[in-house]
Structure 1
Amino acid sequence: MTETSGHGKPALKKSLTALHLWGIAVGLVISGEYFGWNYGWAVAGTMGMLIASFLVLVLYITFVFSFTELTTAIPNAGGPFAYAFRALGPLGGLIAGYATLIEFLFATPAIAFALGSYLHFLYPAVDVLYAAIGSYLVFTLINLIGIKESAVFTLVVTLLAVAELVFYTGIVAPHFKWGNFMQDNMPFGWAGVFAALPFAIWLFLAIEGVAMVAEEAKDPQRTIPKGYILGMATLAVLAMVVMIVTGGVTNWQKLSHIDYPLPEAIGFALGKTNSLTKLFAGIGLFGLIASFHSIITGYSRQIFALARASYLPPFLSHIHPRFKTPHWALTAGALVGIIALCLGHTDKLIIISALGALVMYIVSMISLFVLRKKEPSLERPFPSPFYPWFPVIACVLSAICLVALVYYNPWMSLVFFGGMVLVAVLFIWMRKKTAAQKLAEESTVAAV
C-alpha cells in the first residue's frame, strides 16, 4: 500500500539513518574529485584553480551550515523547491525547482560521459556514448528497487570510492614535484580564477541533494545535520589533497582536457603498462558510480515533488506499488539525461549544471531570511550558526560566482535563463487560465 502524507498525497518511506545520509552526501559529490575539476586548469592553471577552489569551499561551508536549517525544519522531498514555495510563494518555488532540476539533470550526463571514458580507457573497443547510455539504464533500474536498498548500495560504493582516493594519494604522492605544480601556474592571471569557478563548484556540486531524501530520513532533525557536516568535511579534505598531488605528477596541461585525469596521472607516475594503472582505472569507476547513482536519486525526488505540487504532470508523482519509489520520475529523468548525452559535452554540461546550482543557492538563502521573519516560531532543530553572517556570505559568494559564470559563458547562460523565463511565462499563463476557468465554473453554479 502506498504511504500518504498528512494531506492525502503520495509520501515516501522513511528508512535512512545518519550513515546512509553521509553516504548519499559524499556519494552525490565524490565523482567531482575524479574528473571535471581538471578543466579548471585549462582556464586558470594549477594555482588559479586552487584559489578558485578555496573561494568555493568557503561558499559551500557557509551554505551547508545555513541550508541544513531549512532541511531539518522542512524535511520535504522537494528540498529547495519546498523551502522557496513556503517562503516566496508559487513563483519562487518554480524558480528554485527549475534551477535544482537543471543542476541535477545536467550533472548526471556529465558523470555518464566520464563513466564511458573510464570504460573506454580500460577497454578501447567500448564506445563512450553507448557505455554512458547503458549506465543510465542500469542505475535507473537499481534506483527503482527501493530507497533503503539504493542507499545501502550507495554507502558501499562511496566507502570504496573514498578508500580508492586515499589509495591514489599514496601511489601518486611520492612522485609529486612542486616544480610541476608551479609551472605556469596562473597563465591567465586573476581572470582565470573567475573562469575556473564552475569547475571549482563541480568539486562540491550536488551535496545539497541530501535535502531531496530528507522526507525518507529517520529522525531527520538529528540525522540530517550529521550526514551533511561529516559529508562536507570528507569532501573538502579529499578535494584539496587530490587536486594538489595530481598537479605535481607531470605537466598539468596534459591532464586538463580529459575525463580520466587520475588514471592518466598514475600512468605518468608508474607507466601506463603498470598493473596498478589498470587496477586504479577499474576501481575508479566506484567514485563515478557513487555520484551517478546518488544524483539519479536526487533528481527523481525533485521531479516527484514538483509533480506532487502540480508543477509537472501528475503521473510523475506516482509511486510504484511494490518498491515505493517514484518510477515515472526516474524514467523521465533518464530520458532527459540520454538526450543531453547525445547533444552535449562534459565541460558544457558542468557549466549549465553550475548555473542551476548557483541560482538555487541564492534563492535558498533568500528563503532562509524570509522564513526567519515570516515564521519566527517555526521549529528549527539546527539553526544556522553565526546567523546572519553565514547565509549572507553564502549568498554573496554565490552571486559573485553566478556573475562570473554568465560573463565567461554568455551563450550557455542565455539558454539557462531563457528556459527559466519561458517556464515562468507558461506557469503564469496556466495559473491565469486555471483561475479564469474556476471563476467561470463558480459563476455557472451561482446562476443555477
Structure 2
Amino acid sequence: MTTTTAPGATTLRPVLGTLQLWGIAVGLVISGEYFGWSFGWASAGTLGFLVTTVFVAAMYTSFIFSFTELTTAIPHAGGPFAYSRRAFGPTGGYLAGAAVLIEFVFAPPAIALAIGAYLNVQFPGLDPKLAAVGAYLVFMTLNILGVQIAATFELVITVVAVVELLVFMGVVSPGFSMANFTQGGWAGQDQFSLAAVGGIVAAIPFAIWFFLAIEGVAMAAEEAKDPRRSIPRAYIAGILTLVALAFGVMVFAGGAGDWTRLANINDPLPQAMKLIVGESSGWLHMLVWLGLFGLVASFHGIIMGYSRQIFALAREGYLPAPLAVLHPRFKTPHRAILAGGVVGIAAIFSDEWLTLGGNTLTANIVTMSVFGAILMYILSMLSLFKLRASEPALERPFRAPFYPVLPAFALAGAGVCLATMAWFNALIAAVFAGFLALGYVYFLATRGRREGVAATAGAAAATGST
C-alpha cells in the first residue's frame, strides 16, 4: 500500500518498545476502572451488570486477538482508518476515521470531569470543570514535548495506577460482604426476572467503559520499534491485565456496603472506601491522590491517541493539511493535539445539549464515545474478513487465532452492542448519526484535496524510484 502524505507533513519516529506499548494499552483504559462503570449499576444492579461485563469482556478479548492481526499487518498511525480504507476504499476509511475521532475526542472530557470530581473531594471549593480544563492544558503540553517523554510518563503512572487498584481491593477486603454485593443485585430486585434483562442491556455502554480505547495502541504503530513483535505482546498482556482489574474492582466496590450510593457518581472508589475506613482515614486520602494517576494515565494516553488519528487523517487529505504538520523541534503533531483539546473543552461546558434524556453530562459523553468505538469495532472486523479474502498474500506477522470464529464473535457482539445502545439511547444515537452525516458532507466536499494529495505522493514516489 502506498502511503499518501499531505504537503508539509513528515513521518513519526519509531522509538517505543514493548513495555511502553503495554503502558499505553493499559493506561489508555485504566481510568475505566476508576469511574464511569458504576453508572451501569443504576440500570442493571450489581449482578445484572456482572452479566453485562462478562459478555463485554469476552467480546473485547476476542476483538483484541483479532484486531492485532490488522495492527501488525498494517502498522499505520491511522489505525482502523487505514484498515477500513484498504479494505473498502475512501468511504470505508472515512467511516472508521470518523468513528475513532468521536471515540477518542469525546472520551477525554469525561475523564477530565472525573479528575475534577476527584480533586473536588480534597478541595471542595474547586470547580470540577475548571480543574478539567487545567488537566487539558497540562497534558496537551506534555504530549507536545515528545512521544518518548509522553510514553515513559504514561508507563510510570500506569504502573502506579495498577498498584493503587490492588491497594484499594486490599483495604476494602476486610469489610467485604457478598451479601452487600448481591442485595438488590438484579436491577434493584433480589431475584432475577425478565424485567432485569432491559437493565442488563442498557448497561452495555458502561461495561464497555472498562475496556474502551485499548485499541488506541494501533495509533502508536508507526512509533513502535518492532511493531510485529511488540504490539501483539502489548495487546495480549494489556487485555488480560484489564479484565482482571475490572472484575476485581467491581466486585470489591460492590461488596463494601450499600452499592446504590456508588451509582451515578464520578468517584465510586473513594466513596466505596469511605464505607469501610471512614472519611478521615489516610487510606482514603491516599486513594484520592493516587487514584488520580489512573485518570491521568487514560487522559494522557487518549490525547496521544486522538492526536495521531487527527494527524493521520490530515496527512491523507481527510482533514485540513495543517493538522498533519509536526512540531519543528519535538516532532509531535502539536496542531492535532490542540485541535482535539478545543473540542474536548467545549464538550465540558456543553451541559445544555449533552444532558439529553435526563442523564448526567459524564454519562452522555461516555455513551457518545462508546458509539464511536462500537462502530469502529464493526468496521475493523469487517475489514479483517475482507482483507483475508481480497489480499490472502498480505504479510500477517500475527494471525487471529481460531479464525473465523473469534473475529465473528467479536463482530456479532459489537453488532448487538450497537443495536441495543441505539435502542436505549435514541437521542445520543441521533446526535452521533448527525456527526457522521456532517462529516460525510465534508468528506464529499474535499474529494479534490485527497486526489491532490495522492497525486503529489505518486509523483514523489516516481521521482524517488528513478
Task: Please indicate the TM-score interval, normalised by the length of the shorter structure.
Answer: over 0.9
Q: Which residue pairs with 2:379 in the alignment? A: 363
Q: Which residue pairs with 1:229 in the alignment? A: 236
SS of residue paired to 2:274? helix
Unaligned runs of 5+ in 1: 437-448
Q: Which residue pairs with 2:255 in the alignment? A: 248
SS of residue paired to 2:394? coil
Q: Which residue pairs with 1:45 in the alignment? A: 45
Q: How many residues align?
A: 433
CA shift, 1:434, in A, is: 8.5
Q: Which residue pairs with 1:119 in the alignment? A: 119
Deviations 1:34-76 (A, max 9, x none): 0000000001000111100000001101100000000000000
Q: Is the 8 A contact 2:316 2:450 kept in 1?
A: no
Alignment of 1:11-160 (within 5 A): 11-160=11-160
TM-score when normalising by structure 1: 0.94
Q: Which amino acid aligns with 1:398?
A: A
1:249–1:427 distance in 2 versus 1, CA, 3 Å: same
When structure 1 is superposed on structure 2, of 422-431 and 18-27 the one drifting more is 422-431
Alignment of 1:260-275 (within 5 A): 260-275=267-282
Aligned match for 1:293, one of 273, 293, 300? 300
Q: Which amino acid aligns with 1:380?
A: R
Establish whether residue 313 from structure 1 lines up as the match of residue 329 from structure 2: no
Distance across 2 between alignment mates of 1:182 and 1:248: 8
Distance across 2 between alignment mates of 1:293 and 1:283: 15
Q: Which runs of 4+ in 1 moved over 3 A?
A: 5-9, 432-436
Establish whether residue 219 from structure 1 lines up as the match of residue 206 from structure 2: no
1:270–1:371 distance in 2 versus 1, CA, 3 Å: same
Q: Is the 8 A contact 2:140 2:338 kept in 1?
A: yes
Distance across 2 between alignment mates of 1:427 and 1:223: 34
SS of residue paired to 2:349? helix
Distance across 2 between alignment mates of 1:274 and 1:363: 48
Q: Is the 8 A contact 2:318 2:446 kept in 1?
A: no
Q: Which amino acid aligns with 1:320?
A: H
Q: Which amino acid aligns with 1:260?
A: D
1:189–1:371 distance in 2 versus 1, CA, 3 Å: same
Distance across 1 between alignment mates of 2:240 and 2:103: 22
Establish whether residue 387 from structure 1 lines up as the match of residue 403 from structure 2: yes
Q: Which amino acid aligns with 1:347?
A: A
Q: Which amino acid aligns with 2:150?
A: S
1:283–1:435 distance in 2 versus 1, CA, 3 Å: closer
Q: Which amino acid aligns with 2:163?
A: A
Unaligned runs of 5+ in 2: 188-194, 355-360, 453-466
Give RMSD over aligned pairs: 1.6
SS of residue paired to 1:425? helix
TM-score when normalising by structure 2: 0.91
Identity %: 52
Distance across 2 between alignment mates of 1:223 and 1:170: 32
Distance across 2 between alignment mates of 1:297 and 1:426: 25
CA shift, 1:180, in A, is: 0.8
Distance across 2 between alignment mates of 1:435 and 1:272: 61
Distance across 2 between alignment mates of 1:127 and 1:263: 19
CA shift, 1:425, in A, is: 3.0
Distance across 2 between alignment mates of 1:126 and 1:158: 26
SS of residue paired to 1:311? coil
Distance across 2 between alignment mates of 1:118 and 1:48: 27
CA shift, 1:435, in A, is: 7.9
